[in-house]
Structure 1
């Protein structure tokens, strides 16, 4: 990137005296952290602990701003409206008032991405029609770094929080009070039972199509998700992929794992797992 560019995002303002308290009861992140940082990464889970939507939560003078992919925005608004019950909090879609701006280098009033600093810098600013769309460059950057985009790499209610790398990417607080889906998330963390995860794969040429099975010989280990030339994200039984003796393939193309150093790897599967 040569300067700040715009991402297409839905922005939901939640205001009122109970705004943060009500959100703290449902989201995976501890919102008291907004007293020290302007933005945190969080998710809304199903009661079973699967990701319905991930988001950035920004401190706002009237409460908070939720910065979420448009593919998940409407459903998130609906679900939070249901969870609000009698809380003194107001939900409002303010997407037409603001832009989400990103860059790979610091710029005025921007902050480092709370998931992974290498993803660059981000801020919410007033609408500005002179700023260009930076989605393609941003997509290439996050694929290169091995960071899943949960609105593109997974369906809603498809992956558990730890399969979605919320642990590695600072999206869940294991010490906070209850949130929706907490029991299952805590159990998977405590027992280290997360065997399926997103992991980058590398190969020659164009990426296999989204959803292409990843195979070790005849055994299916998962599937390819979004990709670019030479690199893609895959959702895999990572323990089996790490232990595979047969070459890994996808769509007839030989691939190999390329896990980043921050990815928490499961133990390789033993015989019969």
Structure 2
């Protein structure tokens, strides 16, 4: 199996001038599927929103990871996916890993096999591999200057393709010693990883992106480098392309924060969000503690918002993430 590390200038900017642990490694509750074979890229090209050919080419400057969604025929998200290229050159047999929510590993595999037909590809889980999210510490030293050359139990270290603020994705062999792969790193609480995601407004998994419900552009797929509008046809393309060309997106996923005190059982997923005057403003998707992510009408983002939980109004506020493009709707 190919063993390599990928670095980028952006990672240096994330870590420069900081003085605590280089990074925290989190097991994000995701699973890996391997797609291998001569037609792997062509097969995935027709199923995912992003241009898989740029990943499969393995040319100089080609990415090692891509973000994408698998949509249903109505153009709604079924699975959010990060793809990883394991083959090192165009001359090697294509070998691509697909990261998905661990709760939908089996249905995602069935979804792929449904469309496999006679394609020359092998689709199988990867129980011998582990996936880690690697987030730079708040005050780490210049960790990027000593980023490891992945070896031994490491398979791939690459920038998270969704946003620079999400750090790296690391794939290792099962049971790998992380301190040998990333010196000075530590294993963190997975809840801290999810809080980091929610603070940055990065959706992940079936709670944030309910299958058959979430729309890719409302879910900020374009902001997270997860879609190509020039690649050609794929399942669910028609509605997505029409929405893009019309240029009208009235709702988006946004990070939200709650005012204390919070209900003992937390905020129910799917709860309706209202303006102070009682107008519908959106729906809460998921969260942890006082942070979460919600689908909100952009017209109400800057208004006081609340959720009625058992007769009590819980106040919340939304914000626009700093990593969004400058042209993003406010």
Give TM-score scaled by structure 1 length: 0.88
Q: Distance in 2 between matches of 1:104 and 1:6?
A: 11
Partner residue in 2 for 1:125: 172
Q: Secondary structure at 2:285's aligned position in 1?
A: strand
Q: State how 1:183-262 maps to structure 2 within 5 Å.
A: 183-205=238-260, 206=262, 208-216=267-275, 217-239=277-299, 241-242=300-301, 247-251=304-308, 252-261=313-322, 262=324
Give TM-score scaled by structure 2 length: 0.74
Q: What is the Cα deviation at residue 133 of structure 1?
A: 6.6
Q: Deviations over 1:125-160 (max 9, x none)?
A: 101165657522211110111112242213211111
Q: 1:150–1:164: 8 Å Cα contact kept in structure 2?
A: no
Q: Distance in 2 between matches of 1:178 and 1:164?
A: 20
Q: Distance in 2 between matches of 1:248 and 1:17?
A: 52
Q: Distance in 2 between matches of 1:28 and 1:85?
A: 20
Q: Secondary structure at 2:218's aligned position in 1?
A: coil
Q: Distance in 1 between matches of 2:220 and 2:31?
A: 22
Partner residue in 1 for 2:81: 55
Q: Secondary structure at 1:102's aligned position in 2?
A: strand
Supply the RMSD in Å over aligned alpha carbons.
Answer: 2.1
1:40/1:46 Cα in 2 relative to 1: closer, same or farther (>3 Å)?
A: same
Q: 1:51–1:158: 8 Å Cα contact kept in structure 2?
A: yes
Q: Secondary structure at 1:104's aligned position in 2?
A: strand
Q: 1:200–1:231: 8 Å Cα contact kept in structure 2?
A: yes
Q: 2:100–2:205: 8 Å Cα contact kept in structure 1?
A: no
Q: What is the Cα deviation at residue 32 of structure 1?
A: 2.1
More deviation, 55-64/224-233: 224-233
Q: Secondary structure at 1:152's aligned position in 2?
A: helix
Give the one of 91, 94, 103 matched to 1:71.
Answer: 103
1:208/1:7 Cα in 2 relative to 1: closer, same or farther (>3 Å)?
A: closer
Gaps in structure 2 of 5+ consecutive residues: 1-20, 88-93, 137-143, 151-156, 179-186
1:136/1:129 Cα in 2 relative to 1: closer, same or farther (>3 Å)?
A: farther
For these two proteins, the number of residue pairs brought into alignment is 263
Q: Distance in 1 between matches of 2:245 and 2:63?
A: 28
Q: Secondary structure at 2:109's aligned position in 1?
A: helix
Q: What is the Cα deviation at residue 84 of structure 1?
A: 1.0
Q: Secondary structure at 1:199's aligned position in 2?
A: strand
